[in-house]
Every structure is written in C-alpha cells, then in structure tokens.
Amino acid sequence: MKFASTRLIAADIKSLVSFYENVLGEAAEWLAPVFAEIVTPKATLAFGSVDTVALFREGSAEPAANRTAILEFQVDDVETEFARLKDQVEVVHEPKMMPWGNCAAQFRDPEGTLVSLYTPVTEAAKKRFGGR
C-alpha cells in the first residue's frame, strides 16, 4: 500500500489553494473547478470544494472542522521559511526544538488546519529522515 494524498475540504477552495501554493512554493494543478492538487515527491496535497462532499456522502466531511490533524512539511531551514511566512499566516508558535529532535514552527491555514514546518536537527532526527 502506498500513502498517496491528504485531501482538505474547503469552504473557500481558491483561498486555501493559494495559501498552500505560497507555503510550498508550488503551483496547484486544477483538475476541475472544485478540485486541485499539489504533487510533491512523496505525496499529494489535494483540495476539494465543500461541493464535492455530496459526491461521497452528504455531511461526511466538513470544512474548517479539523482539530486532530497537523500537516507537516520537512524543510531545509525552518527559521528561513518561518521568516518568509510569519506575516502572512496565523502563527501558533515560532520555531522551537521538539523532544524528538526537530525544530518546528506551526501556523494555521485559512480553514484552521494546523500546519507544521520542521527541520531535523539532532543526529537521530537526521538519520530518521535520510540525513537531509
């Protein structure tokens, strides 16, 4: 089995896609007016308009209701990325060391989902992520 993507359901899909294009520095591919994707080397971040929920089952997903997941992106230098984004996002916390060896910063996307940017710092963390 291959983990393929995470899909965020959005009340305002254009705003959400624009936010992640800015964070990731990548353009989204719009496959339909209600669906877009940003493909990364490891997985895809997909976006569906709230209108797409009815294609599955009405009420099965709800925009701006997530309080359990954190989208995490490994970056070369979390301090640099945080400095680039801090005035454009709702900051949850500035870069700080985590007990598992990463330096991480968190903020919220326009729908309220937590986003974490991190850089492996300790030798153990670097080893876990392939020495990046």
58-109 pLDDT, tens digit per residue, is 889 999 998 889 999 999 999 999 999 999 999 999 999 999 999 999 999 9
Are 74 and 123 found together in one domain? yes
d(CA 39, CA 29): 8
Q: Domain range for residue 103?
A: 66-132
Q: Count the neighbouring beta carbons within 10 Å of the beta carbon of residue 60.
A: 10
Among candidate residues 41, 63, 85, the one where a domain is terminated:
63
As beta bridge partners, residue 29 has 37
Are 44 and 56 found together in one domain? yes
Give 33-42 contacts, CB < 8 A, sequence gap 24+: 37/5
What is the helix (H) or strand (E) element at residue 9, kind and residue range?
strand 5-10
Are 83 and 29 found together in one domain? no
pLDDT of residue 126: 93
Are 71 and 130 found together in one domain? yes
Digit-coded pLDDT (tens) for 40-68 = 988 899 999 999 999 999 889 999 998 88
Are 55 and 94 found together in one domain? no
pTM of the model: 0.91
pLDDT of residue 131: 61
Q: How many domains does the chain have?
A: 2
pLDDT surpasses 80 at 132: no
CATH code at position 55: 3.30.720.120
